Amino acid sequence: MLHVDRIADLRAACERARATGRRVGIVPTMGFLHEGHRSLMRAARRDADFVVVTIFVNPLQFGANEDLDQYPRDLAGDLAQCEAEGVDCVFSPSVAEMYPRPPVTTVHVAELTRDLCGAARPTHFDGVTTVVTKLFAIAGPCVAYFGRKDAQQLAVVTRMADDLNLPVEIVGCPIVREADGLAMSSRNAYLGADDRAAAPTLFASLRAAVGAVVDGERDAARVLALVRAEIASEPRIGLEYAELRDAHDLRPIATLDGSVLLAVAARVGGTRLIDNVHLRLDGANVDADLGIRRGASDAPAPA
């Protein structure tokens, strides 16, 4: 496995791969890798020939009072995980390599970034879209893999690639969960024992909502009331938002129909967690993607 930390070296490696007819697949991450990241690597391994994982804790996407300094890091462990997944190249640049001077050029996706996580984190998505654009510019034509765990990020990056005609195909991958339903996240490492025990309530609230929709509920306000009540039952969790949106353009919906995103963000202790479920409704038929639960059996959990 190639490990590079210079932009020129990643660019050259991707160009070499394409010159020999290989398809480049890229998995952008902030490291401290877990099964969620590894599922993206496996998706890339399945359909690309030269798999690149990028590991970069991007200062631009952290707000002034956020956890940039505490963000967990383990480059040696990350490299071992990439090696185990058959990754071809890891790119782990320094901040100075990516931002030799403060950038005056940034990428802003309007509308889709205004609310949901954008409301509490007003500079976050500009940081994401700027660094992702830089990574795409360095890697060149490729397929890029993003988790549906960050559903708004996936919608924003997909729209950006389309609006800007970037030579990149964006692929969204299912949420990977712990056995008790908690969506895997590098930030779960912040949770103390009591908060860790409380955190699966977020998933339970999504499951309760899916149950109601499967039983025929289509009124967004009533579904959201159910989610809020479930989360309010756990005093350690402070809900930031629970929203039902059109899954593609993220506009609010009053009635559930078509492709729908139910997304939540909450504070558990001092840790901000997000989760979501994607629902596809066609008349009485409901298809809910609650992701994949990693249990002792490793089998996908029933919805």
φ and ψ at 300, to 5 degrees?
A: -60, 140
Long-range contacts of 41-44 (CB under 8 A, 24+ apart): 41/82, 41/85, 41/86, 41/87, 41/145, 42/85, 43/145, 43/171, 43/173, 44/143, 44/145
Residue choice 93, 147, 181, 200 for contact with ligand AMP (CB under 6 A): 147
Residue choice 45, 124, 134, 149 for contact with ligand AMP (CB under 6 A): 149
Residue choice 50, 71, 91, 146 for contact with ligand AMP (CB under 6 A): 146
- The stretch among 95-103, 112-120, 169-177, 255-263 that binds ligand AMP (CB under 6 A) is 169-177
176 near ligand AMP, judged by CB under 6 A: yes
Residue choice 54, 81, 152, 186 for contact with ligand AMP (CB under 6 A): 186
184 near ligand AMP, judged by CB under 6 A: yes
Cα dihedral 84→168→18→28 (10° resolution)? -30
Confirm whether 248 is a catalytic residue: no
134 near ligand AMP, judged by CB under 6 A: no
Q: In terms of C-beta density within 10 A (0-12 exposed, 13-18 middle, 19 or more buried), how is residue 249 classed?
A: exposed
Nearer Cβ to ligand AMP, position 176 or 191?
176
175 near ligand AMP, judged by CB under 6 A: yes
- The stretch among 88-96, 130-138, 168-176, 294-302 that binds ligand AMP (CB under 6 A) is 168-176
- Looking only at residues 39 through 98 of this chain, which bind ligand AMP when binding is defined by CB under 6 A? 39-40
Catalytic residue from among 37, 108, 248, 278: 37
CB 15 to ligand AMP: min, Å: 24
Half-sphere exposure of 29 (CA within 13 A, CB side): 33
Longest Cα pair distance anywhere in the chain, in angstroms? Answer: 57
CB 245 to ligand AMP: min, Å: 17
Q: Summarize as ranges the residues that interact with ligand AMP (CB under 6 A).
A: 29-30, 36-37, 39-40, 146-147, 149-150, 173, 175-176, 183-186
Which residues are identified as catalytic? 37
